[in-house]
Structure 1
Amino acid sequence: MSEVSGQKKATVPLDPFDDNELVTAEDVRAYLTKNPDFFTQYPELVERLTIPHGHKGSVSLVELQSEQLRKKVRQLNYKLNQLIGIAKQNEKIYRVYTDLNVQLLHCQSVSDIQLKLEEVLQERLNLSSVVIKNFRGPHAIPELQRRLFAEKRFKNDSFFFGRLSQHERQLLFGDDTAESSALILLGEKKDLGILAVGSCDASHFTPDMDTLLLKQLQQILNIILPDLLEY
Protein backbone atom coordinates (compact mmCIF):
# COMPACT_ATOMS: atom_id res chain seq x y z
CA MET A 1 0.00 0.00 0.00
CA SER A 2 1.18 3.53 -0.69
CA GLU A 3 1.81 5.45 2.52
CA VAL A 4 0.41 8.62 0.98
CA SER A 5 -2.63 7.56 -1.01
CA GLY A 6 -3.46 4.29 0.63
CA GLN A 7 -3.75 2.79 -2.85
CA LYS A 8 -1.94 -0.29 -3.96
CA LYS A 9 1.19 0.63 -5.92
CA ALA A 10 1.54 -0.71 -9.46
CA THR A 11 4.08 -3.42 -9.77
CA VAL A 12 6.25 -4.59 -12.62
CA PRO A 13 6.31 -8.38 -12.92
CA LEU A 14 9.77 -9.83 -12.65
CA ASP A 15 10.78 -13.05 -14.31
CA PRO A 16 11.50 -15.61 -11.59
CA PHE A 17 15.14 -16.49 -11.06
CA ASP A 18 16.49 -19.70 -9.66
CA ASP A 19 17.87 -19.24 -6.15
CA ASN A 20 21.27 -20.37 -7.36
CA GLU A 21 21.18 -18.24 -10.53
CA LEU A 22 23.09 -14.97 -10.56
CA VAL A 23 21.48 -11.96 -12.24
CA THR A 24 23.97 -10.56 -14.75
CA ALA A 25 24.25 -7.03 -16.13
CA GLU A 26 22.92 -8.36 -19.43
CA ASP A 27 19.82 -9.69 -17.62
CA VAL A 28 19.15 -6.24 -16.17
CA ARG A 29 19.72 -4.61 -19.55
CA ALA A 30 17.35 -7.04 -21.27
CA TYR A 31 14.71 -6.52 -18.60
CA LEU A 32 14.85 -2.70 -18.77
CA THR A 33 14.76 -2.87 -22.57
CA LYS A 34 11.54 -4.89 -22.39
CA ASN A 35 10.09 -2.62 -19.68
CA PRO A 36 10.96 0.98 -20.62
CA ASP A 37 8.34 2.33 -18.17
CA PHE A 38 10.06 0.76 -15.16
CA PHE A 39 11.39 4.08 -13.83
CA THR A 40 8.00 5.72 -14.39
CA GLN A 41 6.56 3.34 -11.82
CA TYR A 42 9.55 3.76 -9.49
CA PRO A 43 10.57 7.45 -9.95
CA GLU A 44 12.46 7.55 -6.62
CA LEU A 45 15.08 5.24 -8.14
CA VAL A 46 15.90 7.77 -10.86
CA GLU A 47 17.21 10.25 -8.30
CA ARG A 48 19.13 7.61 -6.36
CA LEU A 49 20.92 6.09 -9.34
CA THR A 50 24.30 7.56 -10.27
CA ILE A 51 26.17 7.01 -13.49
CA PRO A 52 29.99 7.23 -13.85
CA HIS A 53 30.93 10.23 -16.01
CA GLY A 54 34.30 10.79 -17.63
CA HIS A 55 34.49 14.51 -16.71
CA LYS A 56 32.02 15.03 -13.86
CA GLY A 57 32.58 11.98 -11.68
CA SER A 58 29.14 10.52 -10.91
CA VAL A 59 25.93 12.08 -12.21
CA SER A 60 22.27 11.21 -11.77
CA LEU A 61 20.36 9.39 -14.45
CA VAL A 62 18.20 12.48 -15.01
CA GLU A 63 21.29 14.66 -15.47
CA LEU A 64 22.81 12.14 -17.87
CA GLN A 65 19.59 12.00 -19.91
CA SER A 66 19.41 15.80 -19.95
CA GLU A 67 22.99 16.03 -21.18
CA GLN A 68 22.36 13.46 -23.90
CA LEU A 69 19.24 15.36 -24.96
CA ARG A 70 21.18 18.65 -25.13
CA LYS A 71 23.83 16.92 -27.24
CA LYS A 72 21.19 15.63 -29.65
CA VAL A 73 19.67 19.10 -29.89
CA ARG A 74 23.07 20.59 -30.72
CA GLN A 75 23.63 17.94 -33.40
CA LEU A 76 20.19 18.56 -34.90
CA ASN A 77 20.80 22.33 -34.92
CA TYR A 78 24.13 21.78 -36.65
CA LYS A 79 22.52 19.58 -39.31
CA LEU A 80 19.68 22.07 -39.74
CA ASN A 81 22.14 24.93 -40.28
CA GLN A 82 23.97 22.78 -42.83
CA LEU A 83 20.72 22.11 -44.71
CA ILE A 84 19.81 25.80 -44.65
CA GLY A 85 23.25 26.68 -46.03
CA ILE A 86 22.90 24.10 -48.82
CA ALA A 87 19.40 25.36 -49.64
CA LYS A 88 20.65 28.96 -49.92
CA GLN A 89 23.53 27.89 -52.15
CA ASN A 90 21.16 25.86 -54.36
CA GLU A 91 18.82 28.84 -54.65
CA LYS A 92 21.72 31.05 -55.72
CA ILE A 93 22.81 28.53 -58.37
CA TYR A 94 19.24 28.13 -59.62
CA ARG A 95 18.87 31.91 -60.04
CA VAL A 96 22.20 32.14 -61.86
CA TYR A 97 21.23 29.47 -64.38
CA THR A 98 17.75 30.93 -64.86
CA ASP A 99 19.24 34.36 -65.63
CA LEU A 100 21.84 32.78 -67.92
CA ASN A 101 19.23 30.94 -69.99
CA VAL A 102 17.27 34.15 -70.56
CA GLN A 103 20.39 36.08 -71.55
CA LEU A 104 21.51 33.38 -73.97
CA LEU A 105 18.27 33.78 -75.93
CA HIS A 106 19.37 37.30 -76.83
CA CYS A 107 22.84 36.34 -78.11
CA GLN A 108 23.46 37.07 -81.78
CA SER A 109 26.56 34.96 -82.39
CA VAL A 110 28.51 32.01 -81.05
CA SER A 111 31.13 34.42 -79.69
CA ASP A 112 28.34 36.24 -77.78
CA ILE A 113 27.31 32.91 -76.26
CA GLN A 114 30.92 32.14 -75.30
CA LEU A 115 31.33 35.53 -73.62
CA LYS A 116 28.05 35.22 -71.77
CA LEU A 117 28.93 31.73 -70.50
CA GLU A 118 32.31 32.99 -69.28
CA GLU A 119 30.74 36.02 -67.63
CA VAL A 120 28.15 34.04 -65.71
CA LEU A 121 29.78 30.69 -64.98
CA GLN A 122 33.26 31.98 -64.23
CA GLU A 123 32.48 35.28 -62.52
CA ARG A 124 29.28 34.40 -60.65
CA LEU A 125 29.87 30.72 -59.90
CA ASN A 126 33.68 30.90 -59.63
CA LEU A 127 34.30 28.15 -62.16
CA SER A 128 37.74 28.24 -63.74
CA SER A 129 36.93 27.77 -67.42
CA VAL A 130 34.15 27.27 -69.93
CA VAL A 131 34.32 26.63 -73.64
CA ILE A 132 32.18 25.43 -76.55
CA LYS A 133 34.02 23.02 -78.83
CA ASN A 134 32.25 22.57 -82.16
CA PHE A 135 32.20 19.39 -84.21
CA ARG A 136 32.43 21.39 -87.46
CA GLY A 137 34.18 24.53 -88.62
CA PRO A 138 37.75 25.86 -88.50
CA HIS A 139 38.31 25.15 -84.79
CA ALA A 140 36.37 21.88 -84.61
CA ILE A 141 37.40 18.86 -82.60
CA PRO A 142 39.11 16.35 -84.94
CA GLU A 143 36.86 13.50 -86.03
CA LEU A 144 39.01 10.88 -84.31
CA GLN A 145 38.91 12.76 -81.00
CA ARG A 146 35.17 13.24 -81.36
CA ARG A 147 34.68 9.47 -81.69
CA LEU A 148 36.90 8.83 -78.67
CA PHE A 149 34.85 11.24 -76.56
CA ALA A 150 31.64 9.60 -77.74
CA GLU A 151 32.87 6.13 -76.81
CA LYS A 152 34.63 7.03 -73.56
CA ARG A 153 32.64 9.91 -72.04
CA PHE A 154 29.23 9.85 -73.71
CA LYS A 155 28.61 6.16 -74.17
CA ASN A 156 25.48 6.07 -71.99
CA ASP A 157 24.52 9.72 -71.52
CA SER A 158 24.95 13.19 -72.98
CA PHE A 159 26.60 14.37 -69.73
CA PHE A 160 29.93 13.58 -68.11
CA PHE A 161 31.12 14.72 -64.68
CA GLY A 162 34.52 14.00 -63.24
CA ARG A 163 38.21 14.10 -64.05
CA LEU A 164 39.68 14.02 -67.56
CA SER A 165 42.97 12.72 -68.86
CA GLN A 166 45.71 15.26 -69.48
CA HIS A 167 45.23 14.88 -73.24
CA GLU A 168 41.47 15.49 -72.95
CA ARG A 169 42.00 18.58 -70.77
CA GLN A 170 44.50 20.00 -73.22
CA LEU A 171 42.19 19.36 -76.17
CA LEU A 172 39.16 21.04 -74.52
CA PHE A 173 40.60 23.67 -72.20
CA GLY A 174 44.10 24.33 -73.50
CA ASP A 175 46.15 25.79 -70.65
CA ASP A 176 43.14 26.70 -68.50
CA THR A 177 42.67 24.89 -65.19
CA ALA A 178 40.20 21.99 -65.11
CA GLU A 179 40.87 19.65 -62.19
CA SER A 180 37.30 18.35 -62.57
CA SER A 181 34.96 18.91 -65.48
CA ALA A 182 31.38 18.89 -66.67
CA LEU A 183 30.94 17.93 -70.32
CA ILE A 184 27.62 18.42 -72.12
CA LEU A 185 26.98 16.97 -75.55
CA LEU A 186 25.15 19.50 -77.74
CA GLY A 187 22.67 19.03 -80.59
CA GLU A 188 19.37 17.24 -80.90
CA LYS A 189 21.27 14.57 -82.81
CA LYS A 190 24.39 15.07 -80.66
CA ASP A 191 26.13 16.59 -83.67
CA LEU A 192 26.85 20.22 -82.65
CA GLY A 193 29.70 19.98 -80.19
CA ILE A 194 30.63 19.87 -76.52
CA LEU A 195 30.12 22.45 -73.81
CA ALA A 196 33.01 21.94 -71.39
CA VAL A 197 33.09 23.54 -67.94
CA GLY A 198 36.13 23.21 -65.69
CA SER A 199 36.73 23.74 -61.98
CA CYS A 200 39.97 24.15 -60.06
CA ASP A 201 38.44 21.92 -57.37
CA ALA A 202 38.99 18.24 -58.14
CA SER A 203 35.86 17.29 -56.17
CA HIS A 204 33.51 19.92 -57.64
CA PHE A 205 32.13 17.84 -60.52
CA THR A 206 31.34 14.24 -59.56
CA PRO A 207 29.48 11.43 -61.37
CA ASP A 208 26.53 11.56 -58.97
CA MET A 209 25.67 15.20 -59.69
CA ASP A 210 22.12 16.24 -60.54
CA THR A 211 21.70 17.31 -64.19
CA LEU A 212 18.47 19.33 -63.97
CA LEU A 213 19.97 22.83 -64.42
CA LEU A 214 22.58 21.73 -66.94
CA LYS A 215 19.92 19.89 -68.91
CA GLN A 216 17.96 23.15 -69.19
CA LEU A 217 21.13 24.91 -70.37
CA GLN A 218 21.68 22.12 -72.89
CA GLN A 219 18.14 22.54 -74.23
CA ILE A 220 18.58 26.30 -74.65
CA LEU A 221 21.86 25.86 -76.53
CA ASN A 222 20.32 23.16 -78.72
CA ILE A 223 17.67 25.68 -79.76
CA ILE A 224 19.87 28.70 -80.51
CA LEU A 225 23.15 27.21 -81.75
CA PRO A 226 22.00 25.59 -85.05
CA ASP A 227 20.91 28.93 -86.56
CA LEU A 228 24.04 30.70 -85.39
CA LEU A 229 26.33 27.94 -86.66
CA GLU A 230 24.36 27.74 -89.91
CA TYR A 231 24.48 24.01 -90.19
Structure 2
Amino acid sequence: MSETTDKPRAHEVAAWLRQNPRFLQQFPDLALSLEVPRESGQAASLASYQLEVLREKNRELSRRLQELFANAQENERLAVRTHQLTLALMRQPSAGGVVRAMAASLAEDFAGDRVRIVLFQQVEGGEGAHWLRIVDADDARLVPFRDCLADGEPLCGRLHPDKHAFLYGEDAEQVQSTALLPLPGVGLVAVGSVDPNRFFPGMGTLFLRMMAEAFTTALSR
Protein backbone atom coordinates (compact mmCIF):
# COMPACT_ATOMS: atom_id res chain seq x y z
CA MET A 1 0.00 0.00 0.00
CA SER A 2 1.59 3.28 -1.09
CA GLU A 3 1.47 6.52 0.87
CA THR A 4 0.31 9.78 -0.70
CA THR A 5 1.56 13.27 0.22
CA ASP A 6 0.48 16.83 -0.52
CA LYS A 7 4.07 18.10 -0.50
CA PRO A 8 4.74 19.93 -3.81
CA ARG A 9 7.64 18.76 -5.91
CA ALA A 10 10.56 20.99 -6.85
CA HIS A 11 9.50 21.41 -10.48
CA GLU A 12 6.00 22.37 -9.33
CA VAL A 13 7.39 25.05 -7.02
CA ALA A 14 9.60 26.33 -9.84
CA ALA A 15 6.67 26.45 -12.24
CA TRP A 16 4.55 28.35 -9.71
CA LEU A 17 7.31 30.89 -9.09
CA ARG A 18 7.66 31.46 -12.84
CA GLN A 19 3.98 32.32 -12.92
CA ASN A 20 4.32 34.58 -9.86
CA PRO A 21 7.58 36.49 -10.33
CA ARG A 22 6.63 39.13 -7.72
CA PHE A 23 6.12 36.60 -4.93
CA LEU A 24 9.37 37.54 -3.13
CA GLN A 25 8.33 41.20 -2.97
CA GLN A 26 5.63 40.12 -0.54
CA PHE A 27 8.04 38.01 1.53
CA PRO A 28 11.49 39.72 1.45
CA ASP A 29 12.66 37.71 4.46
CA LEU A 30 12.28 34.55 2.36
CA ALA A 31 14.64 35.97 -0.25
CA LEU A 32 17.26 36.52 2.45
CA SER A 33 17.11 32.88 3.54
CA LEU A 34 17.55 31.37 0.06
CA GLU A 35 20.93 30.02 -0.98
CA VAL A 36 21.75 31.06 -4.54
CA PRO A 37 24.95 30.20 -6.44
CA ARG A 38 27.10 33.18 -7.33
CA GLU A 39 27.63 32.23 -10.98
CA SER A 40 26.52 34.42 -13.84
CA GLY A 41 23.17 33.80 -15.44
CA GLN A 42 19.56 34.03 -14.35
CA ALA A 43 20.33 33.11 -10.75
CA ALA A 44 22.33 36.30 -10.37
CA SER A 45 19.15 38.40 -10.45
CA LEU A 46 17.88 36.83 -7.23
CA ALA A 47 21.24 37.34 -5.58
CA SER A 48 21.08 41.02 -6.60
CA TYR A 49 17.60 41.23 -5.12
CA GLN A 50 18.84 39.80 -1.84
CA LEU A 51 21.63 42.36 -1.80
CA GLU A 52 19.22 45.22 -2.47
CA VAL A 53 16.95 44.04 0.37
CA LEU A 54 19.93 44.04 2.72
CA ARG A 55 20.94 47.50 1.55
CA GLU A 56 17.43 48.82 2.12
CA LYS A 57 17.37 47.37 5.62
CA ASN A 58 20.75 48.96 6.28
CA ARG A 59 19.52 52.36 5.06
CA GLU A 60 16.47 52.12 7.31
CA LEU A 61 18.60 51.18 10.32
CA SER A 62 20.98 54.06 9.58
CA ARG A 63 18.05 56.48 9.38
CA ARG A 64 16.68 55.28 12.71
CA LEU A 65 20.09 55.53 14.35
CA GLN A 66 20.46 59.10 13.10
CA GLU A 67 17.05 59.99 14.53
CA LEU A 68 17.94 58.43 17.87
CA PHE A 69 21.25 60.26 17.92
CA ALA A 70 19.59 63.60 17.11
CA ASN A 71 16.98 63.03 19.83
CA ALA A 72 19.68 62.12 22.32
CA GLN A 73 21.59 65.32 21.52
CA GLU A 74 18.46 67.45 21.88
CA ASN A 75 17.57 65.80 25.19
CA GLU A 76 21.10 66.43 26.43
CA ARG A 77 20.85 70.12 25.52
CA LEU A 78 17.48 70.39 27.25
CA ALA A 79 18.83 68.66 30.34
CA VAL A 80 21.75 71.10 30.55
CA ARG A 81 19.49 74.13 30.08
CA THR A 82 17.00 72.86 32.64
CA HIS A 83 19.80 72.29 35.14
CA GLN A 84 21.18 75.79 34.51
CA LEU A 85 17.69 77.25 34.96
CA THR A 86 17.26 75.44 38.27
CA LEU A 87 20.58 76.76 39.55
CA ALA A 88 19.73 80.29 38.42
CA LEU A 89 16.40 80.17 40.25
CA MET A 90 17.94 78.83 43.45
CA ARG A 91 20.55 81.61 43.48
CA GLN A 92 17.92 84.37 43.59
CA PRO A 93 17.57 86.10 46.99
CA SER A 94 13.92 87.12 46.49
CA ALA A 95 10.69 86.01 44.83
CA GLY A 96 10.97 88.92 42.41
CA GLY A 97 14.41 87.72 41.39
CA VAL A 98 13.08 84.21 40.84
CA VAL A 99 10.32 85.49 38.56
CA ARG A 100 12.69 87.68 36.54
CA ALA A 101 15.22 84.84 36.19
CA MET A 102 12.49 82.47 35.00
CA ALA A 103 11.25 84.91 32.37
CA ALA A 104 14.78 85.70 31.15
CA SER A 105 15.76 82.04 30.83
CA LEU A 106 12.60 81.10 28.94
CA ALA A 107 13.14 83.95 26.50
CA GLU A 108 16.90 83.53 26.02
CA ASP A 109 17.97 79.96 26.82
CA PHE A 110 14.76 78.32 25.58
CA ALA A 111 14.12 80.81 22.74
CA GLY A 112 10.55 81.68 23.71
CA ASP A 113 9.06 84.31 21.40
CA ARG A 114 6.46 85.33 23.99
CA VAL A 115 6.80 84.57 27.71
CA ARG A 116 3.93 85.11 30.12
CA ILE A 117 3.87 84.48 33.88
CA VAL A 118 0.60 84.65 35.81
CA LEU A 119 0.79 84.61 39.61
CA PHE A 120 -1.89 84.58 42.27
CA GLN A 121 0.15 86.70 44.69
CA GLN A 122 2.09 89.92 44.23
CA VAL A 123 5.86 89.69 44.17
CA GLU A 124 8.17 92.56 44.99
CA GLY A 125 10.28 93.69 42.05
CA GLY A 126 7.91 92.54 39.32
CA GLU A 127 6.15 95.85 38.85
CA GLY A 128 5.89 97.09 35.29
CA ALA A 129 6.97 93.85 33.62
CA HIS A 130 4.85 93.32 30.49
CA TRP A 131 5.23 89.53 30.80
CA LEU A 132 3.92 89.37 34.39
CA ARG A 133 0.27 89.42 35.46
CA ILE A 134 -1.05 89.23 39.00
CA VAL A 135 -4.63 87.95 39.40
CA ASP A 136 -6.71 86.45 42.17
CA ALA A 137 -6.92 82.66 42.20
CA ASP A 138 -10.72 82.92 41.88
CA ASP A 139 -10.62 85.36 38.95
CA ALA A 140 -13.33 84.46 36.42
CA ARG A 141 -10.79 84.65 33.58
CA LEU A 142 -9.05 81.60 35.01
CA VAL A 143 -12.09 79.35 34.55
CA PRO A 144 -10.76 77.96 31.22
CA PHE A 145 -7.57 76.93 33.05
CA ARG A 146 -9.39 75.17 35.90
CA ASP A 147 -8.74 71.61 34.72
CA CYS A 148 -5.07 72.05 33.93
CA LEU A 149 -4.48 73.87 37.22
CA ALA A 150 -6.13 70.95 39.02
CA ASP A 151 -3.95 68.22 37.51
CA GLY A 152 -0.77 70.25 37.02
CA GLU A 153 0.08 68.65 33.67
CA PRO A 154 1.77 70.83 31.03
CA LEU A 155 -0.14 71.49 27.80
CA CYS A 156 1.46 71.88 24.38
CA GLY A 157 0.02 73.03 21.07
CA ARG A 158 -2.49 75.64 19.95
CA LEU A 159 -4.49 76.77 22.97
CA HIS A 160 -8.21 77.43 23.02
CA PRO A 161 -8.96 81.04 22.01
CA ASP A 162 -10.09 82.09 25.50
CA LYS A 163 -6.84 80.82 27.04
CA HIS A 164 -4.87 82.37 24.22
CA ALA A 165 -6.43 85.80 24.58
CA PHE A 166 -5.98 85.89 28.36
CA LEU A 167 -2.29 84.99 28.18
CA TYR A 168 -1.10 87.03 25.22
CA GLY A 169 -3.60 89.85 24.81
CA GLU A 170 -2.75 91.95 21.76
CA ASP A 171 0.06 89.53 20.83
CA ALA A 172 -2.34 86.58 20.58
CA GLU A 173 -2.45 86.59 16.77
CA GLN A 174 1.33 86.26 16.55
CA VAL A 175 1.55 83.18 18.78
CA GLN A 176 0.95 79.96 16.87
CA SER A 177 1.88 77.34 19.51
CA THR A 178 2.35 77.33 23.27
CA ALA A 179 3.89 75.33 26.09
CA LEU A 180 1.72 75.98 29.16
CA LEU A 181 2.99 75.12 32.62
CA PRO A 182 0.19 75.13 35.23
CA LEU A 183 1.39 75.74 38.79
CA PRO A 184 -1.41 74.62 41.14
CA GLY A 185 -1.92 77.21 43.87
CA VAL A 186 0.75 79.46 42.36
CA GLY A 187 -0.20 80.46 38.81
CA LEU A 188 0.69 79.77 35.18
CA VAL A 189 3.75 80.01 32.96
CA ALA A 190 3.33 80.16 29.18
CA VAL A 191 6.00 80.05 26.48
CA GLY A 192 4.62 81.08 23.09
CA SER A 193 6.16 80.59 19.66
CA VAL A 194 5.45 82.04 16.23
CA ASP A 195 6.22 78.59 14.82
CA PRO A 196 3.05 76.43 14.77
CA ASN A 197 5.20 73.28 14.99
CA ARG A 198 7.40 74.36 17.90
CA PHE A 199 5.02 72.98 20.53
CA PHE A 200 2.56 70.25 19.64
CA PRO A 201 0.20 67.82 21.44
CA GLY A 202 1.93 64.58 22.32
CA MET A 203 5.43 65.99 22.67
CA GLY A 204 7.39 65.03 25.76
CA THR A 205 6.73 67.19 28.80
CA LEU A 206 9.31 65.81 31.27
CA PHE A 207 11.56 68.87 31.12
CA LEU A 208 8.56 71.20 31.31
CA ARG A 209 7.45 69.51 34.54
CA MET A 210 10.97 69.80 35.94
CA MET A 211 11.07 73.51 35.11
CA ALA A 212 7.67 74.08 36.72
CA GLU A 213 8.74 72.25 39.88
CA ALA A 214 12.00 74.20 40.10
CA PHE A 215 10.16 77.51 39.70
CA THR A 216 7.51 76.64 42.30
CA THR A 217 10.14 75.44 44.78
CA ALA A 218 12.27 78.55 44.33
CA LEU A 219 9.25 80.82 44.87
CA SER A 220 8.37 79.05 48.11
CA ARG A 221 11.81 79.61 49.66
Instruction: With the length of structure 1 as denominator, give the TM-score of the two structures.
Output: 0.68
Paired residue total: 196
One-letter amino acid of the structure 2 residue matched with residue 15 of structure 1: P
State how far apart, in whole Å, the 2-side matches of 1:206 and 1:116 are.
25
Q: Are the structure 2 counterparts of residues 117 and 129 from structure 1 closer, same or farther at C-alpha, using a change threshold of 3 Å?
A: farther
- Structure number with the bigger relative contact order (C-alpha 8 A, sep ≥ 6) is 2
Cα gap change, 1:158 to 1:135, in 2 (>3 Å): farther
Are positions 1:163 and 2:162 aligned together? no
Query: What's the CA shift for 1:29?
Result: 5.1
Is this contact kept in 2: 1:127–1:200, CA < 8 A?
no
For the residues of structure 1 that align with 2:33 and 2:160, how far apart are their CA atoms?
64
1:36–1:92 distance in 2 versus 1, CA, 3 Å: closer
Larger of the two Rg values belongs to structure: 1
Equivalent residue, structure 1, for 2:146:
150
**Mapped contact 2:177–2:197 kept (Cα < 8 A):** yes
| Deviating more after overlay: 70-79 vs 130-139 | 130-139
Aligned to 2:178: 181
Task: Give, in whole Å, the separation in 2 of the partners of 1:161 and 1:206.
Answer: 5
Query: TM-score, length-normalised on structure 2?
Result: 0.71
**CA RMSD between the two structures:** 3.5
- Out of 41, 48, 60, the residue aligned to residue 41 of structure 2 is 48
In the alignment, the residues of structure 2 paired with residue 174 and residue 79 of structure 1 have an alpha-carbon distance, to the nearest angstrom, of 42
Which of 176, 188, 192 is equivalent to 2:186? 192
- Deviation string, structure 1 residues 39-75 (Cα, Å, up to 9, x no partner): 53x737x74326xxxxxxxx62222222332232223
Q: Does the Cα contact within 8 Å between 1:47 and 1:60 map onto a contact in 2?
A: no
Q: CA deviation at 1:103?
A: 0.8
Q: In structure 2, give the amino acid aligned to 1:49.
A: Q
Match of 1:62 in 2: 47
Q: Secondary structure at the match of 1:60?
A: helix
8 A contact 2:89–2:101 mirrored in 1: yes
Aligned counterparts of 1:118 and 1:224: Cα–Cα separation in 2 = 14
The answer as to whether partners of 1:47 and 1:61 remain within 8 angstroms in 2 is: no
Deviation at 1:93, TM superposition (A): 0.8
2:144 and 2:163 in contact (8 A); partners too = no
Q: Secondary structure at the match of 1:125?
A: coil
Of 50, 56, 72 in structure 1, the residue corresponding to residue 57 of structure 2 is 72
| Structure 2 runs not aligned, ≥5 long | 1-5, 128-132
Return the structure number with greater helix share.
2
